[in-house]
Amino acid sequence: MILGKKVRLSPTKEQEQKSWQSVGTARFIYNWTLARQEENYKNGGKFIYDNDLRKELTILKKTEELKWLNEVSNNVAKQAVKDGCEAYKKFFKGLADKPRFKSKRKSKPSFYNDNIKLKVKSNMVLIEKVGWIKTAEQLPINVKYTNPRISFDGKYWFITVGMEKEKPIVELTTESIGIDVGIKDLAICSNGMTFKNINKTGLVKKLGKRLRRLQRKISRKYYLNKEGRKFVKTSNIIKLEKQIRLLHRKLSNIRNNHLHQATTKIVKTKPSRVVMETLNIKGMMKNKHLSKAIAQQGLYEFKRQLQYKCEFYGIKFVEADIWYPSSKTCSKCGHVKTKLSLSERTYICEECGAVIDRDFNASINLSRYSA
């Protein structure tokens, strides 16, 4: 099974500059790919294969205007075309929204390094056209890496690689755990485990408040420093932008750690099966009040982590059918309510008189799900 490994890099100033060059080139080519696909689609054309786009790109790279694209590794360009095509293909098949262009300010800076060209020695890694960069921890030697990516999180540079890892042999219990995810809490499990909504904790609230204050401040400054239609970046604005970037980073680290802790704790109980509801986030996102809370909660990421951790331990991962009445069913007698409003936090059964927390009730029903 392929597992991802992320290691911090300590590039020199010069290496960092070269990395930014690769980031810029990858972004430019990704956007160029999307633009070509879009233009072609609008003119009634079908999907353009990445091989064909790469041939076009080879010609473009010979022009005076775009010869700067040659300054970074050719593999960075190759992969950026592939990534753009991949994103567009998903859109074509109806699996994703139309891919967005990467913006300098908002998209995560990253680029690809060819997996065969990636070399590792003691606490060093060789990045094409950047050089040997120090790593904070030793990357395993003599293993096959897949999809190496270099990225910047607003503070540090990282390398992420996929590596083949053998699954451990784990003895599982006979338990089936049902998990009800939501907005009030992150997850309520049928075995009694509960995981809170991290966004309701004091620290996250405080950081969120600070972030909003900085964002207001910076938009005032943008406005004040506008010259005609042009924005002028003062050193003060640059400083504020950095503070905002670091706060975003901190918040996303806290949220992600919380998801990792929760999903690890669940699989460590070694159940034979885990059942979750099918997430219909696209539908839920249409509700404006809910959409922000759902995005912050990271329910898709929760599912993704749980799924691969289950796979690793050989635990069966099941998504219950979207119509399965996990909330409306009484976990004690099996009675199914015809109506249950979102505000009813406690399930009260009119048939057997059971009184039980709504989410816990749902999680028990999920644990008993049979397809």
Interaction site with Zn ion (CB under 5 A): 330, 332-333, 335, 349, 351-352, 354
Please state the closest distance from residue 370 (CB atom) to Zn ion, in A: 19
Task: Give the residue with the Cβ less far from Zn ion, 73 or 365.
Answer: 365
Residue 362: Cβ within 10 Å count: 28
Length of the chain in terms of residues written: 371
Residue 54 or 335 having the CB closest to Zn ion: 335
Cβ 365 to Zn ion, closest distance in Å? Answer: 11
| Choice between 297 and 367, CB closer to Zn ion | 367
Q: Using only C-alpha atoms, what is the Rg of the chain?
A: 24
Give 150's strand partners: 111, 159
The Cα–Cα gap between 192 and 131 comes to 51
Least distance between Zn ion and beta carbon 324 (Å): 17
| Closer to Zn ion by Cβ: residue 270 or 335 | 335
The torsion angle over the Cα atoms of residues 239, 241, 244 and 249, rounded to 10 degrees, is -100
Least separation in angstroms between residue 278's CB and Zn ion is 25
Residue closer to Zn ion by CB (options 159, 330) is 330
204 vs 330 by CB, closer to Zn ion: 330
Query: Judging by DSSP bridges, how do beta strands 273-277 and 176-181 pair with one another?
Result: parallel
* Shortest separation between residue 348's beta carbon and Zn ion, angstroms: 9
DSSP code, position 329? B
User: Are 281 and 299 within 8 A, CB to CB?
Assistant: yes
Which residue number, 75 or 326, has a Cβ lying nearer to Zn ion?
Answer: 326
Q: Which of 17, 32, 35 has the alpha carbon at shortest distance from 72? A: 17
Give me the least distance between CB of 358 and Zn ion, in Å please: 13
CB-based contacts of 58: which residues, under 8 Å, 6+ apart?
A: none
Q: How do strand 157-164 and strand 230-231 relate by DSSP bridges?
A: unpaired
**CB of residue 350 vs Zn ion: minimum separation in angstroms?**
8
Q: What is the sign, positive or negative, of the torsion defined by CA atoms of 255, 260, 263, 266?
A: negative
